[in-house]
């Protein structure tokens, strides 16, 4: 298990949310997605769709999953 928090800054369009959540659900650790003081569970489609998707989003987690990190690299800002 990773002992320090990993963060990635990403940008998602509404059409990418479903794929993002599918990638996050494959991880066996908690993942948060946020901007400013708003934080939601990254495995929640409704939570993510409630965010302002025109903003840069920060994905934070304590864990390691190469497939998920590869996905994040594809939507990185």
Residue 1 lies in a domain: no
In the chain, the number of structural domains is 1
Residue 52 lies in a domain: yes
Residue 18 lies in a domain: yes
**Using CA atoms, how far apart are residues 68 and 71, in angstroms rounded to an integer?**
5
* Domain range enclosing 41: 6-75
pLDDT of residue 35: 95
Query: Model pTM?
Result: 0.91
pLDDT (tens digit, 9 = 90+) per residue, 20-77?
A: 999 999 999 999 999 999 999 999 999 999 999 999 999 999 999 999 999 999 999 8
**Using CA atoms, how far apart are residues 3 and 17, in angstroms rounded to an integer?**
27
């Amino acid at each position: 298990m990773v002992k320090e928090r990993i963060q990635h800054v990403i940008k998602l369009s509404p059409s990418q949310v479903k794929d993002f959540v599918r990638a996050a659900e494959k991880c066996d650790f908690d993942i948060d997605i946020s901007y400013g003081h708003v934080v939601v569970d990254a495995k929640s489609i409704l939570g993510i769709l409630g965010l302002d998707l025109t903003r840069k989003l920060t994905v934070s987690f304590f864990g390691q999953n190469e497939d998920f990190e590869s996905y994040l690299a594809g939507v990185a800002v």
